[in-house]
Structure 1
Amino acid sequence: MKETAVFEIKSVMHRPDLIYFTWNDVGGRYHVYKDGIHLYEGTVPEFSDGDFKHAKLYNYSIERVVGGDVVDVIALQTSAFAEEKNKENPLQSLVMTTIVAKTQIALAWEEMRDVQEYDIYRNGVFLQTVDVNRYIDRDFALDESYTYTIHSKRPLLKSEERLNVSKSIASTLFDWLNRASSKEEAAIESFSVTKVIAEPKRLLTSVRERENLEKVDRWAFRYTTFLADEWVMNPHPLTLNRYFKGDDRDFDPNGESFRTRVDIELAYDLERSPLFFTKNIGPSIAYNRLKHFREKATASFDGISVQRKDHKEGEAGFHLTHAVGNPLTTAPKIDYEVRAVLRRDGTFDLTGTHDAAPHHEVYLMQGSRNDWFPIHQVESKGLAWMAPVVAWEYWRISNFTSS
């Protein structure tokens, strides 16, 4: 006997060699597409896929056809389990499933070890805290885009082991650098996973209607680190360089003052789709205790590098690493890492990790729009959070688009 439920996904199952999902059988014939390729047609409301790359995002469309016309659509985005987990950033291989139907937006994600609860935000507004790895939203408009962010935390149980630093040395160092924060707070890892979802009415159109949509010819990426304060006191009390000049600004993709800035452009519209890479480092300027100028220097570019990553035609990306210090004092370096996939169909998937200092701001730009889209902005917790004994910040952002 057929179910009378609405046209929604019923279950999704992941195994290392399988992605399998079912949906409510509401009558008609069903067509399943993966990234625009027609893979299934029939009346059985289920689909199995064993042809995929691990940790790669795939966009599925399930179309319900009656009398030759597409009368309803479910859009599903997911990935397969990674064969090997990235120990440096667990979010890179995290499986997240996004389902969009006329009656629901559903998010489900792989459980994270030692995480007890997740805070759910929509368009920056807190919705609720859940103790399970899923969330369903039924209060949404079909003609609005939505950004969901899942925040979670867990203890950094092996921080001392990772760095081979004794607990007493780590505690003393952190206390000396930052009296305002506790060692307990410094040993908490923070995670944020963000999904940017296009207007549901665009996702819920037939694949045929989307065939002629324009592709993204250019992607631009910008990562900037900066000191928000005008003056920054040197944590070493005996130095003659008592103060450093800060950047004296807030988040701004075009902010003129910064510690470091990396620009990457991927040009799909040029032969061989070249990757352009630019790196800039702001000067370090030191002053004495009366804030009189003492010296000025610029750090080396050697700590910034990019490796291009090609996956297939129309799907390329990069691996960016960054470790830049202050050339005028002995201090921890600004460390961060980003892995990115920027597809020509408009899908992006970026994963990063960094110290909780200084301010970090990351932006994307599509085509020639000339407007930066903020994908990650984090305020500094204080220069002590650059120390190697402190937990990192982990983030991932991807989108579900109709292209």
Structure 2
Amino acid sequence: MKKDERCLTNKYKKKLKKRYFIIPVLCSSFLLGGEGTSAAEKPLVSVEKSDKIVTLQINEPGDLYEIYQDGKLEYSGKSNKYQDNLNSDIQNYKVGVFKQNKLKKVSTVKVTNNKKTSISVQKSLAKVSEVETTNSNKDRKAEIMEGNINSANLEVVATNNSVTLNWDKIPDEDGIYEIYKDDVQIGSTRNLEFTDNNVKPNSRYQYDIVATTQVSDEQKEKYLNLVKERKIKLTAKDKKELFSIEGHLSNIIDIPNIQESSLEQPQVFIKGEKDSSSAKTSMKAAYMPKANAYSFVYMTFIPYFSLEDPFPLNGTYLKGDDRAYQPYSDRYRTKVDVSTGFKGPTYINPVVDIGTSHRCADAACKKVIETKTASKSGVKVYKDLVSTKKMVWRVKHDVGIPFGKIYPNINYYYEATLLNSPSFVVKGAHDKAPNHEFYLFAETSTKAFPIEKYKVNSKNDFMLLMPGSPQHFFNRSF
């Protein structure tokens, strides 16, 4: 069904009066006139932002343009420029271009609005570990990477056959960003823009912009002295991993079809499956009684059956969890499950569980020397905002291996913003050992939506738990 080709129908004028400023001479102060011109290098939609306004410039000539936000029609008319208040952490649009009463182009546009971490958040996350209490243990270059990743924005414009990425500058040792799609490198660039022309309609992809720097020479010397003291042999690959500071800026995007139904369809976290009792049983979520309820599950685990005790190297072994990535596993070092609900009543409910640790005399763990469980007190969950439209919380994880003070703690933190649209922004950092996995579950599905996965490459990687070792920084949006 075609919308009226006038600047705005009365229906939408009435709706926009509530949301936008109106200048009588124009259709709206947020609708700028003029036909767009297409260029080979330009995406279907260009995004420009100021502090309070986002502008979508449609670069494809058309007779009529339609713009939807979260499944609701916000504009139908002839202007190829559209402005909106920039008032949310992430704003999702669908743009349709019509020619001769036919839909010719569809674009999905994701606009992120990351801001620098607030002072209160910085203070609460400053003390990462009991072992790492002084600022001298934290490399200055790691602090710079952390700040840049937390505040950087990644804009995504997708059509049925291409995805264009634009991002803020992030520190990188050689000035070359690596581009990953679903964990596979697809290119690299010195620019702040990249286009992927190898996509399929109705598919979902995760894009990562990866920047890498190295710790200072002073920090390198500290690591190497500790390695020498403990008589550990490191390969060149091990050293590279030990010295690298890596930041991931990522966005998850659904590729549209050229159909009006694609324009009108709001995004969902998990497609396909409907509510069922089996879904609720298999998820093992903390508390999810209604639809529009989500659970965020973060687990740390050791993928090996056992590994030689790295702290200290005394011939004993630590028993591992012996598994690959598995969102429903009951084998883990730690599990933090934060469940949320937007309806009657709203809530953020965290549940923390710690796996039992075993120290063994042999690699097969036939002779267990001692068994202990670390305290839950090292996990803190801060509920910053609980409302019907937006949830904000932080998790700070500082849990030790429970066999003495010589063992380092496993550290991570994340800050999550969840919108009922639905969308999310999750930013944080974690140690580069052991394995980390982070999933979102929806009440209406048995499937898991992966947010973050990180794995060690060898048993030597557990040296990356040394005090002061650089963490892995991430900022993910959907």
Q: TM-score category by the smaller chain?
A: 0.7 to 0.9
Match of 1:163 in 2: none
Structure 1: segments with no counterpart, 5+ residues: 161-166
Q: 1:333 aligns with which of 399, 402, 409?
A: 409
Segment of structure 1 superposing worse, 201-210 or 17-26:
201-210
Cα distance change, pair 180–315 in 1 and its aligned pair in 2 (3 A): same
Q: 1:188 aligns with which of 235, 244, 254?
A: 244
Would you say the 8 A contact 1:284–1:327 is kept in 2?
yes
- The reply on whether 1:59 has 2:92 as its aligned counterpart is yes
What is the CA-CA distance between 1:263 and the residue it aligns to?
1.1
What is the CA-CA distance between 1:27 and the residue it aligns to?
3.3
- The reply on whether 1:75 has 2:108 as its aligned counterpart is yes
Q: Which of the two has greater helix per residue? A: 2
Match of 1:378 in 2: 454
Identity in percent: 22
Match of 1:273 in 2: 346
Match of 1:351 in 2: 427
Match of 2:224 in 1: 171
- The reply on whether 1:129 has 2:188 as its aligned counterpart is yes
Would you say the 8 A contact 1:34–1:60 is kept in 2?
yes
Q: How do residues 3-402 of structure 1 correspond to structure 2 at under 5 angstroms?
A: 3=37, 8-9=43-44, 11-24=46-59, 26-35=61-70, 43-53=78-88, 56-64=89-97, 72-80=105-113, 82=115, 88-115=146-173, 116-157=175-216, 160=219, 168-176=221-229, 178-181=232-235, 183=239, 185-201=241-257, 205=261, 208=264, 210=266, 217-237=292-312, 242-269=316-343, 271-288=344-361, 292-310=367-385, 313-329=388-404, 330-380=406-456, 382-399=461-478
**Corresponding residue SS for 1:91:** helix
Equivalenced residues, count: 389
2:61 & 2:313 partners in 1: Cα distance?
75
What is the CA-CA distance between 1:104 and the residue it aligns to?
2.8
CA RMSD of aligned residues (A): 3.5
Match of 2:138 in 1: none
2:417 & 2:156 partners in 1: Cα distance?
18
What is the CA-CA distance between 1:38 and the residue it aligns to?
6.0
2:182 & 2:370 partners in 1: Cα distance?
45
Structure 2: segments with no counterpart, 5+ residues: 1-34, 123-142, 275-289
Would you say the 8 A contact 2:179–2:207 is kept in 1?
yes
1:284 & 1:311 partners in 2: Cα distance?
35
What is the CA-CA distance between 1:71 and the residue it aligns to?
5.5
2:322 & 2:76 partners in 1: Cα distance?
59
Would you say the 8 A contact 1:325–1:334 is kept in 2?
yes
Segment of structure 1 superposing worse, 39-48 or 89-98:
39-48
Deviations 1:85-131 (A, max 9, x none): 87545323211101123453111111102351122222343311222
Cα distance change, pair 394–83 in 1 and its aligned pair in 2 (3 A): closer
What is the CA-CA distance between 1:248 and the residue it aligns to?
2.0
Would you say the 8 A contact 2:116–2:147 is kept in 1?
no
Cα distance change, pair 293–232 in 1 and its aligned pair in 2 (3 A): same
What is the CA-CA distance between 1:50 and the residue it aligns to?
4.8
Would you say the 8 A contact 2:333–2:355 is kept in 1?
yes
Report the TM-score, using the length of structure 1 for normalisation. Answer: 0.83
What is the CA-CA distance between 1:342 and the residue it aligns to?
2.5
**Corresponding residue SS for 2:148:** coil
Q: What amino acid does structure 1 have at the position aligned with 2:37?
A: E
Cα distance change, pair 312–179 in 1 and its aligned pair in 2 (3 A): same
Q: What amino acid does structure 2 have at the position aligned with 1:390?
A: S
2:183 & 2:172 partners in 1: Cα distance?
25
Would you say the 8 A contact 1:360–1:380 is kept in 2?
no
2:350 & 2:296 partners in 1: Cα distance?
10
Deviations 1:135-175 (A, max 9, x none): 11223222322222332211234985xxxxxx654431244
